[in-house]
Amino acid sequence: MSNNKFKILLLEDEGNIRKLVATMLEASGYQVIEAATCEQGKTLYQSYMPDLVILDLGLPDKDGKHFLQFVRESAATPIIVLSARSEERDKVEALDLGANDYVTKPFGSAELLARVRSAIRSSHIRQSDTGKKTFKVQDLVVDFEARQVVLKNQEIKLTQTEYNIVAFLAQHCGKMMTYSAIIKAVWGEPPGEATIKKLQVNMANIRKKLGSRPGVSSYIMNELGVGYRMNGERDHD
């Protein structure tokens, strides 16, 4: 790398928000490239090849989803979507189009920075872990060869389906996976009301087995109505 700062392309048309986010990211040591339209974003994306993109879905020239598809045609660059609370369906659609995560406006700086760190780190883990036989985060280990999940050195007894869900989330750690993405991967069927129920029941059992309690940060995060994310942050690297 010619410059050891991570480059973030910030695509947001509202000047005040853009300035605020840019200042915050720069204060945390990131290099920020700012764009206000989809077309400008595409040009800057191609010339800078950023490590991460923060993308507002409501852009003046084209829908942010258009930019998402443009990037995903050629690259797996992590993309965090910014969306308003009312755009639930847009969030799911953006995730299914390949966004890694989303943050709902209004958001706090700590929240956005945590998502940025997690998305950059996860994309590096994925690159360097390709073909790796285990996944580790804090006290949790997923052994893909033995099809085993170990927590604090103790094996967690999971059913085949439960294991398949955990392994799929681990392989995409740090990335918000929608219900439909998980269902397609685990059951090989299109999602419907019945399969979503099945997923939720399995998920509740997994979370219980992994010892998560409501309100306590856990390995698997649930975003109601959207999907699940395996925590990609490691305590010590």
Interface residues toward Ca ion, by CB under 5 A? 13, 56, 58
Least distance from Ca ion to the Cβ atom of residue 56, Å: 4
Nearest residue to Ca ion, scored by beta-carbon proximity: 58
What is the spatial distance between Cα 70 and Cα 140, in angstroms, rounded to a whole number? 35
Q: Which is nearer to Ca ion, 56 or 87 (CB)?
A: 56
9: β partners: 33, 53
Nearer to Ca ion, 62 or 121 (CB): 62
User: Given the complex with Ca ion, which of 37 and 218 has the nearer CB atom?
Assistant: 37
The secondary structure of 77-95 as a DSSP string is --EEEEEETT-HHHHHHHH
Cα–Cα distance for residue pair 11/15, rounded to 1 Å: 10
Annotate 33-44 with b (16+ C-beta within 10 A) or e (fewer): bbbbebeebbeb
At closest approach, how far in Å is the CB of 33 from Ca ion? 17
Query: Based on CB atoms, which residue is closest to Ca ion, 36 or 206?
Result: 36
CB of 118 to Ca ion, least distance (A): 24
What's the closest the beta carbon of residue 14 comes to Ca ion, in angstroms? 5
Pick the closer one to Ca ion by CB: 102 or 179. 102
Task: Report the distance separating Cα 30 and Cα 36, nearest Å.
Answer: 19
| Cβ atoms of residues 208 and 215 within 8 Å | no
Please name which of 164, 181, 172, 194 lies closest in space to residue 226, comparing C-alpha atoms. 181
In this structure, what token pair is assigned to residue 106?
């209004």
Look at the block and give the residue holding tokens 């406006």: 105
Cβ count within 10 A of residue 225: 11
Q: Residue 13 Cβ, how far from Ca ion at the closest point, in Å? A: 5
Cβ-based nearer residue to Ca ion, 59 or 181: 59
Minimum CB–partner distance for residue 166 and Ca ion (Å): 36
